[in-house]
Structure 1
Amino acid sequence: MDINSTNPDFVFGRHAAVDYLKEMDQTTINKVFLQSGVQEDFAKEVFGLAKAKGLVVQTVPKTKLDQLVDRGNHQGIVLAIASFAYADLDELLADFEARKHDPFILMLDGIEDPHNLGSILRTADATGVDAIIIPKHRATGLTGVVAKTSTGAIDHVPVARVTNLVQTVKKMKDQGYWFFGTAMNGDDYRQWNAKGKAVLVIGNEGKGISKLLLEQMDQKLTIPMIGHVQSLNAGVATGILLYQMFTSREG
């Protein structure tokens, strides 16, 4: 199987990519990039394999693929693959329950920048976050860049990937979890009581938390700002909230 020697986070080339799609579990594949204008038969095969595993195919120009694999011979297809293993959410929740432990969990709704995810992992480790939940689609996964930015935290904070965040929230609410999400019109985060089975939800860098997910929140939180710029980098905002969580729970 041809894996780019300069970037182990990609599998490319038609035979290698198709074999990987057929043989590997979908949790090991972050994204499927297909060159626009490839032969119809090949495109149908890729879309069929991806659909069977619940993967989204992103059609991109050839220049994008060239950039991803440093001008390697990608033949019109590149798979972004997971460099690190993901945790099973059901197993994590069952373990917390068995230990009678009220966990603090971080849910990330579509963080796209791997540097942001890496820095968030680092802060999560520092503040005692028990696990992180990310979506399988339209978000960065665990890559080499994430690992490097996390400075080792990736090995200590379990990360679970789920297909549908809204359904995951509903399932966890049935198990007694409370959800707290960031919003412009929320309560001052400094008054946040994060004790118990708590989940902090952080939205996408530009769009914030998606509407359907935000509707599921038990409480909305905001970080007051007096400057001219009324927004913070996702990693910075997460850090502020995680330390409030740490203060609230440690007391």
Structure 2
Amino acid sequence: MSSHKSHRRRGAAQLNGNPKFWGRHAVLAAIANPERRVIKIWGTREALAQMDVPSAMPIQYCDVTDLARFVPRDAPHQGIVAEVAPLEDVWLSDVLEGHEEDERPLLVLDQVTDPHNVGAIFRSAAAFDAIAVVTQDRHAPPESGVLAKAASGALETMPWIRVVNLSRALEEIADHGYWRIGLTGHAEMTLDKALSPRRNALVLGAEGEGMRHNVAEHCDALAKLPISDRMESLNVSNAAAVALYAAATLRQPKGG
């Protein structure tokens, strides 16, 4: 293991113990993930009767009112809550070296901190078959029930790479043959003109502030989505979905 790899886990920023996931999709996906340790499950008899839970997994039957103490107010838990251990770190170098001939896109997020948005982005990344999502470690949310619920299972299948320095990570990404495209409304070029026919890394900044200057400086091109003048911008999770769709259609074979 190289010296820059820490032994931190993805959930290190979690302040109140292990994260708790809720809802059928998030909990079933966690159970199905061999890399995820599910510590305990709380659920109503009705909800648990509809789920295939391994017999060895610790289960506690609860009323709906009891489950409410595990989740934020009015969270749609669907009668099921699971305490899970955070996944182990995924290293950028390992992912890049393991996908040398892979032309699917990488998605890079610059200080996108809202867990609803990050979860929705994971869902889109999985839907459009991205290789991984890359974030800066200190300015991204930890694994949480909110994020897992928004990801609808994608948190368990989409590699999440957390890096200390995003600019340095973009340099490493370029060294592996990726064309780095920063999405910004201030660009002159539209995304369809900026995409490479081979390997693309799509870089999106936080809502409001957008990409930081140093991150934009580490992109090969800056591009915008061709949205109407009636709307100034898109939510970052919507922008990610559109950008991933554009990259996916570029990879489709022409003709029938």
Same fold (TM over 0.5): yes
Give the aligned residue type for 2:210: G
Would the alpha carbon gap of residues 26 and 101 (structure 1) be closer, same or farther in structure 2, given more than 3 Å must change? closer
Q: Which runs of 4+ in 1 moved over 3 A?
A: 81-86
The offset of 1:102, in angstroms, is 2.9
CA-to-aligned-CA distance 1:29-66 (integer Å, 9 cap, x gap): 12679xxxxxxxxxxxxxxxxxxxxxxxxxxxxxxxxx
Q: Distance in 1 between matches of 2:152 and 2:179?
A: 30
Q: State the partner residue of 1:77.
A: none
Q: State the partner residue of 1:166.
A: 167
**How many residues get paired?**
182
Q: State the partner residue of 1:65.
A: none
Q: Structure 2 unaligned segments of length 5 or more: list them.
A: 1-6, 17-70, 74-83
Q: 2:248 matched to 1:246?
A: yes
Counterpart contact for 2:119–2:148, Cα < 8 Å: yes
User: 1:1-251 maps to which residues of 2 (within 5 A)?
Assistant: 25=8, 27-30=10-13, 83-97=86-100, 100-186=101-187, 187-251=189-253
CA-to-aligned-CA distance 1:202-236 (integer Å, 9 cap, x gap): 10112111100001111111013334431111011
Counterpart contact for 1:179–1:217, Cα < 8 Å: yes
Q: Distance in 1 between matches of 2:250 and 2:210?
A: 24
Would the alpha carbon gap of residues 242 and 28 (structure 1) be closer, same or farther in structure 2, given more than 3 Å must change? same
The offset of 1:27, in angstroms, is 4.2
SS for the counterpart of 1:119 is helix
SS for the counterpart of 1:30 is coil
Q: Distance in 1 between matches of 2:146 and 2:236?
A: 17
Q: State the partner residue of 2:31.
A: none
The offset of 1:110, in angstroms, is 0.7
Larger mean CA deviation between 85-94 and 241-250 belongs to 85-94
The offset of 1:194, in angstroms, is 3.9
Q: Distance in 1 between matches of 2:104 and 2:99?
A: 7
Give the aligned residue type for 2:13: N
Q: Distance in 1 between matches of 2:244 and 2:184?
A: 16
The offset of 1:69, in angstroms, is 9.9
**Percent identity, aligned pairs only?**
28
Q: Distance in 2 between matches of 1:25 and 1:83?
A: 10
Q: Structure 1 unaligned segments of length 5 or more: list them.
A: 1-23, 34-67, 71-80
Q: Give TM-score scaled by structure 2 length.
A: 0.64
Q: Distance in 2 between matches of 1:26 and 1:195?
A: 35
CA-to-aligned-CA distance 1:77-134 (integer Å, 9 cap, x gap): xxxx98333322111111112xx32341000111111010111111111111011101
Q: Give TM-score scaled by structure 1 length.
A: 0.66
Structure number with the higher helix fraction is 1
Q: State the partner residue of 1:78.
A: none
Would the alpha carbon gap of residues 231 and 87 (structure 1) be closer, same or farther in structure 2, given more than 3 Å must change? same
Counterpart contact for 1:87–1:158, Cα < 8 Å: yes
SS for the counterpart of 2:116 is helix
